[in-house]
Amino acid sequence: MIELINVSKSFDGVEVLKNISTKFETGKVNLVIGSSGHGKSVMMKCMVGLLKPSSGNVMYDDRDFTNLDYSQLRQIRKEIGMLFQGTALFDSLTVEQNVEFTLKMFTSMTPAERKDRVDFCLEQVEMEGINNKFPAEISGGMKKRVGIARAIALDIKYLFCDEPNSGLDPVTSRVIDELLKSITEEFNITTIINTHDMKTVFDIGDDVIFIYQGMNEWSGKVKDIHSSNNDMLTNFINASYFD
């Protein structure tokens, strides 16, 4: 479980995140929704340690991520997988080398064991047989799947996805959604997804937090979204139906 306690973040005096407190449960697909520029990505970056919160704490299963020393921080980071919006696959490495990367850096596996693990991860995302291709040689959807395979190469406990469906066609988007849902359930991990896509929310979401102007405007179960009387959330949902 990941818990945010009164997390705020400012840039040059402008407060982008305002006192956010919430919990993301293990084994569930937790969705963070909200319009562009309202702080979803900043919140995710604060959670994975790419940005340091101006105040507040980020707790990973009762471990205070914001106040750990370097070696403890590195230990938690090995438990984190992240799928970036642009996938962030390493251009100079093949698909296999991308997925193998963390195994090579952090484990004492033999090359054969690493190869088995890479094949297993690629199989999970249905991307067998493209081991020797470079990221530039595969499609956007395939890159996303390889990004997921890379994220789960180590035995992770937390999976972060920043707009996993951006730039994908509706069919591929659904495939990615189903993949994220099945990985979350199969490996019993805490998955947090930033998205604008309401279809993703209703298809695979368990819990939702709605960020509006840097604040936790609404949070609850997906099934409760339609019965919410929060105007901002209602406007956001209605707008997304007319996209």
Partner 1 sequence: MTFFYHFGKYILFLKGMFSKPEKLSVYIDRTITEMNNIGVGSLSIVVIIAIFQGAVTTLQIAYQLISPLIAKPVIGSIVCDSSMLELAPTITCLVLAGKVGSHIASEIGTMRVSEQIDALEVMGINSSGYLALPKIVAGLIMIPMLVIISIFLSNLGGVIAGEASGILTYEEYFQGARESFMPFNLLFSLIKAFTYAFIITSVSAFQGYTTNGGALEVGASSTKAVVYSAVAILFSDYLLAQILL
Closer residue to partner 1 in complex, CB, 162/217: 162
Closer residue to partner 1 in complex, CB, 160/210: 160
Torsion of CA 194, 209, 173, 90, to 10 degrees: 20
Residue from 70, 110, 229, 241 binding partner 1 (CB under 8 A):
70
Name residues contacting partner 1, limited to 82-111 (CB under 8 A). Answer: 82, 84-86, 88-91, 101-102, 104-106
Closer residue to partner 1 in complex, CB, 134/202: 134
Q: Could you tell me which of 26, 153, 155, 29 has the C-alpha nearest to residue 96?
A: 153
Question: Which range binds partner 1 by CB under 8 A, 21-29, 78-86, 185-193, 208-216?
Answer: 78-86
Question: Which range binds partner 1 by CB under 8 A, 20-28, 76-84, 169-177, 222-230?
Answer: 76-84
Alpha-carbon gap, residue 184 to 177, rounded angstroms: 11
**Count of residues of this chain found to bind partner 1 when the rule CB under 8 A is applied:** 25
Alpha-carbon gap, residue 91 to 98, rounded angstroms: 9
Edge-first strand order for the sheet with 158-162 is 80-83, 158-162, 190-195, 29-33, 207-212, 215-221
Closer residue to partner 1 in complex, CB, 80/204: 80
Closer residue to partner 1 in complex, CB, 192/233: 192
Nearest-approach distance from CB 15 to partner 1, in angstroms? 21
Name residues contacting partner 1, limited to 25-54 (CB under 8 A). Answer: 48-50
Alpha-carbon gap, residue 36 to 45, rounded angstroms: 15
Give the single-character DSSP code of 87: B
Residue from 40, 77, 145, 157 binding partner 1 (CB under 8 A):
77
Name residues contacting partner 1, limited to 150-189 (CB under 8 A). Answer: 160
Length of the chain: 243
Task: Kindly tell me the burial class for residue 203, based on how many C-beta atoms sit within 10 Å of its own C-beta (0-12, 13-18, 19 or more).
Answer: middle
Strand positions, DSSP E, 84-206: 158-162, 190-195
For partner 1, the binding residues (CB under 8 A) are 48-50, 70, 73-78, 80, 82, 84-86, 88-91, 101-102, 104-106, 160
